[in-house]
Amino acid sequence: MFRLKRLSLVILSTLIFTIAFSTMAFAIEVNADSQSRNSGNSVTLPVFWYHQIFSDKPLYIHDADTDTWYDSVKGTVEIKWSNYVSMAKSLTADLQVPDGTYQFTLVTTDSSTSDSIEGTFNIIKNGVVVASNIKGQVYGLSLAEGNYFKFYSDDMKWHFSAYITKRIDG
């Protein structure tokens, strides 16, 4: 009996998910078509609902505790987010500077677009939490590979930036 209920729930969830995204794609297509007719020009709208950015070329870090800017930074950053699914967001930055290691992680999300994520972040330096649940924003996320994106805390004291070395939009 339990297996039958579970199977029914999985089938129902899959059906709802499929209908929701099919409806969304249809609405976007209809909107693009009506804009094309109204303007007299063809309109191409790249509509993506999932984004992923990778970087293995960090640019800068600013440490608010020591007021130090680092321009010799190594490491990786990975950001994943969705415009439509509020819980599908993550940011992990593992960055090394000459005198230590920093980790930036996204804790909660207040809002997101195809270009930015606003929320709360944790910052760890050399294994010790140095900033917990600070408000901040990552932006420049819609840019093409080769451009850079930035993170700033709302008080503008913490910062990191990195070049986009790979992106996936779907």
The reply to whether 118 and 68 lie within a common domain is yes
**Residues 39 and 63 both lie in one domain:** no
pLDDT of the residue at 44: 47
1 and 71 both lie in a single domain: no
- Name, in order, each residue with C-beta under 8 angstroms of 9's C-beta and a sequence gap of 6 or more: none
Question: Are 67 and 103 in the same domain?
Answer: yes
Whether 151 contacts 162, CB under 8 Å:
no
- CA nearest 117: which of 95, 94, 144, 87? 87
The answer to whether the beta carbons of residues 95 and 61 sit under 8 Å apart is yes
Q: Mind listing the pLDDT tens digit of every residue in the chain (170 residues)?
A: 656 666 555 554 554 544 444 444 434 443 444 444 445 554 444 555 788 999 999 999 999 999 999 999 999 999 998 866 665 688 899 999 999 999 999 999 998 888 999 999 999 999 999 999 999 999 999 999 999 999 999 999 999 999 999 999 88
For residues 25 and 66, membership in a common domain is answered with: no
- Verify that 69 and 146 share a domain, yes or no: yes
How far apart, in whole angstroms, are the C-alpha atoms of residue 80 and residue 94? 15
Count of structural domains within the chain: 2
Cα-based torsion angle of the residue sequence 158, 164, 165, 167 in order, rounded to the nearest 10 degrees:
120
Q: What is the rounded CA–CA span in Å between residue 4 and residue 87? A: 28
Stated pTM of the model: 0.69
Secondary structure string (H, E, C) spanning 12-51: HHHHHHHHHHHHHHHHHHHHHHHHHHHHCCCCCCCCCCEE
* 78/121 same-domain check: yes
Is the domain of 29 the same as that of 68? no
pLDDT computed for residue 47 by the predictor: 54
Per-residue confidence (pLDDT) for residue 136, from 0 to 100:
97
Nearest-angstrom CA–CA distance, 165 and 54: 6
* 37 and 113, same domain (yes or no): no
pLDDT at 17: 46
Q: Are residues 35 and 96 in the same domain?
A: no
User: Tens digit of pLDDT for each residue in 65-86?
Assistant: 999 999 999 999 999 988 666 6
Domain that holds residue 131: 50-169
